[in-house]
Structures are given as C-alpha cells and as structure tokens.
Amino acid sequence: MRRKGRKKGNKIKKSFNNLKKAFYYARQQKKELILFFIFNLIFCFLGTIAPLLTAKELIALTDGLLIQLLEIALAVLVVEISLNFGRYFSRKYAQIFTREILKKIQLDMAREILRIETSELDKKSSGVFIDRLVKDTSRISDIFLDVTIQTTELFAEVGILIAIFVVSRLFFLYYIIFILIIFFLEKKRVHKFNELDKHYRKSAEATTGFVGELVRGIRDIKVLNAGDSFMAEMNERIIKINEERYEMSQVTRKYSLFVGSVRDLLDFILILLAIYAIKNKLISVANFVIIYMYKGRVFNLLHLFGNFMEWFKDFNLSCSRVFEIIDDTTFKKENFGTEHLNKVKGDFEFKDVYFGYNENKMVLKGVNFKVKHNQTISFVGKSGSGKSTIFSLLARLYPITKGQILIDGHDINELDQETIRGNISIITQNPYIFNMSIRENLTIVKNDLTENEMIKACKLACLHDFIMSLPEGYDTLVGEGGLTLSGGQKQRLAIARAFVQKTQIILFDEATSALDNETQENIQKAIHNLKDHYTVLIIAHRLSTVIDSDQILLVENGKITATGTHEELLESNNTYKNLYNKELKN
Ligand code: ADP
C-alpha cells in the first residue's frame, strides 16, 4: 500500500517536473501568450452571453414580442461577429505561440542528440531519436495549441455553470452530478488509453529504426537477396503496430458506446426532472428554456474535461520521452573538460590505456605510444586488433576505462570539446558525405570559407581537377539524388574537408577495398601533401602506404607489440615481415 502511494507520488512529481520544463519554453513566448489570452477572454465572455440572448430570442418569439425580437437579433448579430474576430485572433496567436515552442524544443533536442555518448548511440535504434524528435515534439506543441485554445473555452463553460446556478439550484445540482459521473468514466478511459499508447510508441520507434535500416541498407538487401526476410519482418512489425493501434481505438470505441448511453439516460432524466420541477413550480418554463439551451454547452464542458485528461496524459508521456533526451538522465551525455587550447601542436601520448565497448570485454589492453607533432604514424595489424578503436578514443568518441590519453601534454578528459573536435579530423574508410553540393559539404565545417581556400584545399586533396570536369563544378549535388562519388573520391573530399577545417591532427583510415591505381595514387599524393605540416595517423591496409611513415606501430590483440620504421621492423619483427611478404605476393 505504502509502495503504491510512493509510486503515485513519484508519478505526480515527474508530471510536475515535465510541466515545469515545458513551461520553460512557454514562458519564452510571453507576448503571443498574453495576446492570445486577451482575445480569448473577449471570445469567452461573448460566448457566455450568446446562448442567453438566443434563449431570450426564443422567449420573445413565443410571446410574440416582434420589436423586442428584432432588437435581440441585432444584439446576437453583433455578438456573433465579434465572437468570430475573437476566435480568429486568439487562434492566430495560439498558433504562433506553439510554432515557436516546437521550433525551440526541436532545436534543443537536436543539439542534445549530438551530445549523446557514442556508446549510447551504438545501443539505440535510430527510430528512438527520429520518432521523439519528430512525433513527440509535435505532440507537445499540438497539445499546447489545443490546451491554450480550449482553456479559455473551459472557463467560458464554467461561466455557463454559474449562469445555471443563478437560474436554478436544482438543475445546477443535476448538472454537477451529471458531470461527476461522466468525469470518472472518462478518467478510466484515458488511463487505459495512455497505458496502451506507451507501448505503441515504443513499437513505433522500433519500426521507424527498422525502416531506416531498410532504406539505408537497400543495396545490400538486394545483393544479399534478403528482400523476403525483410518483408516478413516488416509484415510482423506492421501487424503488431496495427494491433496495438486497434486496441487503442477499441478502448475509445467501447467507452464512447458506454458514455454515450449514460449521457442519453441522463438526458432523459433531465426531462423527467423538468416535468417534476415545472409541475411543482420550482422553475418557470422560460427559465427551463434557458437551462435547456445551456445543455449543449454542458456537454461541451464534459467533452473538454475528457480532452484535458487525455491531453495531460499524452503531454506527460511525450514530455517524458522528449526530456529523457534533452536532460542528462536516461541518455548519457558526453562529458568534456573545461581547459581550452587555442592551438594544438599535435603531440600525443597513450599511457597504459584500457578500453572496452562493454565492461567485461576489453578491446585495448594497455596501449602505450607517443607521437611527436607533424609526424606521420601508421598503425598496422590484423582486422579486429583495435586500430580504429584507438582513433575513436583520440577523438574522444568514447571515454577510456583506465589509463591516460594526453594531447600536447594535457589529459584528454580535461580538454573542452572545441579543443578536441576542432583540432582532430577523422577520415574514415567510407566517409559520410552530406546530401548537398560539394561546396556545401566543405562550407559546413567552415562558414566563411573563401573560394580560394576551397580550391586550394581541393587541389591539395587531388580533387580539384575532377570537380572541374563536372558540368556544375563545385555546385554539383552529391549523395542521394545527386552525383554518386566513388569510395576514393569520398575519401579525397573528406581530406579536403580536413584541409578546410585546418585541424592539426588528421586520422586517416585507409580504404580496405581495392581502389584503382590512379585513385590510390591521388590519395597517396593527398596524404603526402599533409606530411610534415600536420600530425597524421594512418590505419594502413596496404603496406605501400606505410613505407615513408616516420613510425609504424604494430597492433596485435589490443596492444602495441612493435614500433619502428619500415626497415627496422622488417629486420626485427617477424609478424611485420610476414605481413609484408604476404602483401608482396598479392
Ligand atoms: P580494427 O580497426 O583493428 O579492425 P576495431 O578497433 O574496429 O579493429 O575493433 C576492435 C574490436 O572491437 C573488434 O572485436 C570489434 O568487433 C569491436 N568493436 C569495434 N567497434 C565496436 C562497437 N561500436 N561496439 C562494440 N564493439 C566494437
């Protein structure tokens, strides 16, 4: 019992926190909110007197008071037109208010997604982020819109209750009982619906992730002839999601059936009560006409209660899912230090570094090495030995488990994000090229890039001549819907990006796939252009690349087992000698 109470207390605390966080955004749009409330108050005030006038119209009509009827009709006309204006302006400001909130939440969320620890990203499906960024934030802003619009409507309907109270206490009591019965039924419905909605959103985000994978991997799926298995999986997911959606709508349908019938019954009781009250002179016919005119508004009030409960639960669920990402609780964020270096020279040191993607399996088991700035260092070793992991740790994509990484003598954990990421570029085997023009792919890392700087970077990356051979040159669109770049061209564009970024440290993961001789030569030339000006670390898959490196590190099973120049290692290390001989034979 006590545990249940504590659970409920926690839930209330969480809801309150969600509201507080959401209102942080609402507060920033104070102007629109105030304008909205002013127009909505006018709207609500007029909305309360409109039915009163309509009732008077009816009474004047039945009493044959035609002049009075005309006067009231004119007043109704003025009130109704003003109501339309009130509605127009209040909705307009409500819309601007929620649009701005949506924009701010989505931007904050996108920024926070970029800060999430890579290890968290490895574990989660992309759907978790896509659905929350797109669907849940939209739900929050939609509910804000509904709530702002309907809050004043709710006040107006409460005004109706006061009017009923003034006209007849008996019917007021009747309506209150009526409201309470429907309110409890609605509460049950909303609770059931919300529980199902929680599961539904989890399944939906998993499906979004799956669809993302399907789209990204479409070429491989075709080649692997795996279309049928993917279709079977898709079918299963669609069936599951549809079933969950159906369950949710079933809840609404069943309750509508029940609540609708209860309402009809209460409606019938209203007439019985009217017969009794009129017969016993507890109310005049004219006053009952007014009460009867308000019936629709009381129904509307109930409808609003139901909506508010539903929105509150939905709002709470959406906020929890969104703030889980914006806050630092569920999704761990990257933690950088505060030390800032204006210029990094490019000295590195790994001191007895241990690291594992999961705690019980170490991938790096005591890595030690030192790199002097402007040196070119190559890492060689079997696939899976931990070379790429070393690069990821240098770029602080993962925090290390044990040991120390030093950049220019400073512990990587003490340095701020700008110092690390602003001074290191990684050129991966298959670099991510954005679906933009070549120019935009370069300006994305430097907004104020000049034409000369851009051309110089592409020349150094041995890419300029190729770009100039394209009909639209630097404005050629690459990626989806544009020009498809080969692996080698992508790598050279990434090298140009590193030149543009002017990072002092460049980590280069050489492509494993066989590139044609010319491309390979161009990449070699581009790397050569970096030599002695930058600290360059290369994961070499071809030993021809490493020959003129200042130092070669042999990585075996998460450790550096040998260090030296090509000649030194050929002489002293059998593993290296075997690797070299094997490649010569190929
Ligand atoms: P190399 O670059 O030498 O081929 P890696 O550093 O890529 O080796 O991989 C070292 C080990 O770490 C491998 O066993 C690999 O399966 C594992 N590994 C690499 N990346 C991840 C990851 N993101 N999550 C879990 N394990 C990983």
Residue 379 CA: nearest ligand 1 atom is 3
Q: Is the dihedral of CA 239, 243, 244, 245 positive or negative?
A: positive
What DSSP designation does 282 have? S
Pocket test for ligand 1, best of 118, 357, 400 (most atoms within 8 A of CB): 357
pLDDT at residue 518, as a whole number: 66
Token pair listed for 465:
């001549």
Q: Which residue has the tokens 């208010």?
A: 97
CB atoms under 10 Å from CB of 347, counted, come to 18
pLDDT at residue 1, as a whole number: 52
Can you spell out the DSSP letters for 566-586? HHHHHHH-HHHHHHHHHHHH-
Spell 148-163 as b/e; 16+ CB within 10 A means b. Answer: bbbbbbbebbebbbeb
Q: Which residues pair with 552 in a beta bridge?
A: 378, 564
Are residues 420 and 396 in contact, defined by beta-carbon separation less than 8 angstroms?
Answer: yes
What DSSP designation does 133 have? I
Give the C-alpha separation, 464 to 476, whole Å.
13
Tell me if residue 422 falls in helix, strand or coil.
coil
Residues 6 or more apart whose Cβ sits within 8 Å of residue 160: 48, 51, 294, 297, 298, 301
Count of residues in the chain: 586
Distance 144 CA to ligand 1 centre (A): 45
pLDDT at residue 159, as a whole number: 76
Are residues 149 and 90 in contact, defined by beta-carbon separation less than 8 angstroms?
Answer: yes
Output the residue whose Cα is nearest ligand 1's atom 11.
384
342 within ligand 1 shell (Cβ under 6 A): no
Give the C-alpha separation, 455 to 407, whole Å.
31
Render each residue's pLDDT in the chain as its tens digit; 586 residues: 556 666 667 777 878 888 888 888 888 888 988 888 888 888 877 877 777 788 788 888 888 888 888 888 898 899 889 888 888 888 888 889 889 989 999 999 999 998 898 888 888 888 888 889 999 999 998 888 888 778 777 777 777 888 888 888 999 999 899 888 888 888 898 899 999 999 999 999 889 888 888 887 887 888 888 888 888 888 998 999 999 999 999 998 998 898 889 888 988 999 999 999 999 988 888 888 888 878 888 888 888 888 888 888 899 999 989 998 888 678 888 889 999 988 888 898 999 999 999 888 899 999 999 999 888 899 988 888 999 999 999 989 999 999 999 999 999 999 999 899 888 888 888 888 888 888 988 898 888 889 998 998 898 888 898 899 988 899 998 876 667 788 788 888 988 888 888 788 889 887 655 556 666 777 777 777 777 778 889 988 777 778 878 899 999 999 999 899 888 888 888 888 887 777 766 6
Give the C-alpha separation, 240 to 202, whole Å.
12
Are residues 115 and 334 in contact, defined by beta-carbon separation less than 8 angstroms?
Answer: yes
Output the residue whose Cα is nearest ligand 1's atom 5.
386
Q: Is 448 exposed, middle or buried (0-12, 13-18, 19+ CB in 10 A)?
A: exposed
Q: Which residue has the tokens 């360059």?
A: 536
Q: Which of 485, 484, 430, 438 is nearest to 457 (CA)?
A: 438
Give the C-alpha separation, 270 to 298, whole Å.
13
Distance 384 CA to ligand 1 centre (A): 6
Pocket test for ligand 1, best of 350, 364, 389 (most atoms within 8 A of CB): 389
Output the residue whose Cα is nearest ligand 1's atom 12.
363
Give the C-alpha separation, 228 to 214, whole Å.
12
Give the C-alpha separation, 530 to 527, whole Å.
5
Residue 552, φ and ψ in degrees, nearest 5: -120, 135
Give the C-alpha separation, 284 to 277, whole Å.
8
388 within ligand 1 shell (Cβ under 6 A): yes
Give the C-alpha separation, 54 to 49, whole Å.
9
pTM here? 0.75
Q: Which of 97, 187, 105, 78 is nearest to 149 (CA)?
A: 97
Give the C-alpha separation, 560 to 371, whole Å.
13
pLDDT at residue 354, as a whole number: 94
Distance 571 CA to ligand 1 centre (A): 30
| Pairing relationship of beta strands 535-539 and 505-509 according to DSSP bridges | parallel
Are residues 379 and 437 in contact, defined by beta-carbon separation less than 8 angstroms?
Answer: no
Are residues 182 and 307 in contact, defined by beta-carbon separation less than 8 angstroms?
Answer: no
Residue 382, φ and ψ in degrees, nearest 5: -65, 155
Give the C-alpha separation, 44 to 350, whole Å.
69
CB atoms under 10 Å from CB of 494, counted, come to 23
State the Cα torsion 20-24-26-29 to the nearest 10°.
160
Give the C-alpha separation, 514 to 461, whole Å.
19
Output the residue whose Cα is nearest ligand 1's atom 13.
384
Q: Which residues pair with 508 in a beta bridge?
A: 427, 538
359 within ligand 1 shell (Cβ under 6 A): no
387 within ligand 1 shell (Cβ under 6 A): yes
Token pair listed for 377:
């260092």
Give the C-alpha separation, 518 to 523, whole Å.
9
Give the C-alpha separation, 504 to 343, whole Å.
8
Residue 358, φ and ψ in degrees, nearest 5: -130, 150
